[in-house]
């Protein structure tokens, strides 16, 4: 017994798994950002500082870490939705128009903005500790 459109379904599944791997990496990176924030906070509090220098607050990393975790979860939801939609489209005998790349571009732009913000935050945090 052969599966109709097997190669198309296999490609759809590989794409789905690539999305899930990427989403898991984004979630793990968000967790890492959140934990690194605690590490920086600990270093700042444990290092000797003059009395007039306030201990910096690292709320930006908390927000960025949680945002990355939520973004990763959203990527998994979108990946599942796309996988199911594409599987239905493969089985549809009619030609179906592609839904576009707006969601993909949105995720890329959000990741670029978050990465740039984290880079700026990290350089600021390191220069304050130096």
pLDDT digits (tens, 9 = 90+) for 92-129: 888 777 766 788 888 889 888 888 887 887 777 667 65
pLDDT at 97: 74
For residues 50 and 58, give the distance between their C-alpha atoms in angstroms, rounded to a whole number.
19
pLDDT category, 74, cuts 50, 70, 90?
very high
For residues 119 and 92, give the distance between their C-alpha atoms in angstroms, rounded to a whole number.
46
Closest CA to 76 of 20, 22, 28: 20
Q: What integer is the mean pLDDT of 51-75?
A: 74
pLDDT at residue 49 tops 60: no
22 within 8 A of 75, measured Cβ to Cβ: yes
pLDDT at residue 77 tops 90: yes
More confident: 114 or 87: 87
Each domain of the chain, given as residue ranges in start order, spans 6-129
């Amino acid at each position: 017994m052969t599966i109709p459109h097997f190669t198309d379904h296999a490609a759809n599944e590989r794409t789905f798994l690539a999305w899930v791997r990427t989403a898991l990496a984004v979630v793990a990176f968000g967790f890492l950002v959140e934990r690194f924030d605690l590490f920086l906070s600990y270093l700042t509090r444990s290092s000797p500082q003059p009395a007039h220098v306030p201990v910096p607050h690292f709320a930006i990393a908390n927000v960025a870490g949680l945002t990355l975790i939520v973004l990763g979860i959203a990527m998994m939801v979108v990946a599942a939705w796309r996988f199911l939609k594409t599987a239905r489209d493969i089985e549809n005998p009619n030609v179906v128009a592609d839904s576009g790349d707006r969601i993909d571009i949105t995720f890329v732009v959000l990741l670029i903005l978050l990465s740039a913000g984290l880079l700026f935050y990290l350089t600021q945090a390191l220069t304050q500790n130096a």
